[in-house]
Structure 1
Amino acid sequence: APAAILPWLKRVTAIATAIVCGLLAWHTFRFVRDERMYSDVEVAGLPVWLWQAILPFGFALMTWRFLFNALFPKLPEPSR
């Protein structure tokens, strides 16, 4: 890609990735919520939904990271 459009291409990519991660965060949240309501399986004495709760949290963090990168991209290194 030409150097002139590269910053915008990176922003579009970051926004698209944030959307995908946001959707994954939402749907894994719903999954964990349903597991909590309907599941009685335990792993190491803890309900399985507790182990799965990291999924929406992780995807939410990735969503914020990519949104932040889209809104505040890294500045180019100054040339010496």
Structure 2
Amino acid sequence: MFRVISILHKIEDALLVGLLLLMIGLAVFQIVLRNGFDTGIVWADPLVRVLVLWLGLIGAMVASRTDNHISIDIASKYLPMGLKRFTGLSVHLFTTIVCALMTFHSARFVLMEKADGLTAFFSVPTWVCELVIPFAFGIITIRYALFFLENLINVFNCRSRKQP
């Protein structure tokens, strides 16, 4: 199981690096074409916008696998260890709920975009470019649900150790 997870992490990392390199290369190439030759690629700007969306959400997926999202962590410095466990538990539960709602509503959004039948560039439908939204939030939801369960087990294990 750990080998499968490791392979999935490597795929995420490679996808993130590949998309970043593609986005930077395409943007630089577009700048060179515009400034050096007074021309450009018509579909490059919409593709770069889509790549920014994909990079942001895949980056969020990568950050979520180690619970490294941006957080405001003022209270944990002043709370006793017992309360820190419960605040961590509530933060993971809240994050799971919010991400689950985002997954659901972004999937609804993609379905509405599919019904519209618009294209982003070339003949690529807009909804295909937006599929990363519910996918990424779904993965983040699963990861934070697992963090929540792990913290819940730790809270119960700590309580059971204290009782004779």
Deviations 1:12-54 (A, max 9, x none): 1000001000000100000000100113223243101001001
For structure 2, the 5+ residue unaligned runs are 1-78, 155-164
| Higher gyration radius (CA) | 2
Distance 1:42 1:4 in 2: 51
Indicate the structure with greater helix content: 2
Structure with more relative contact order (C-alpha pairs < 8 Å, separation 6 or more) = 1
46, 56, 59: which one aligns with 2:124:
46
> Percent of aligned pairs with the same residue?
26
Distance 1:24 1:62 in 2: 10
Return structure 1 stretches of 4+ with deviation > 3 angstroms.
Answer: none
Q: Which residue of 2 aligns with 1:55?
A: 133
Q: How large is the RMSD of aligned CA atoms in angstroms? A: 1.6
Letter in 2 for 1:41: T
TM-score (norm 1): 0.85
Number of equivalent positions: 75
TM-score (norm 2): 0.43
Distance 2:142 2:126 in 1: 26
For structure 1, the 5+ residue unaligned runs are 76-80
SS of 2:81's partner is: coil
Letter in 2 for 1:22: A
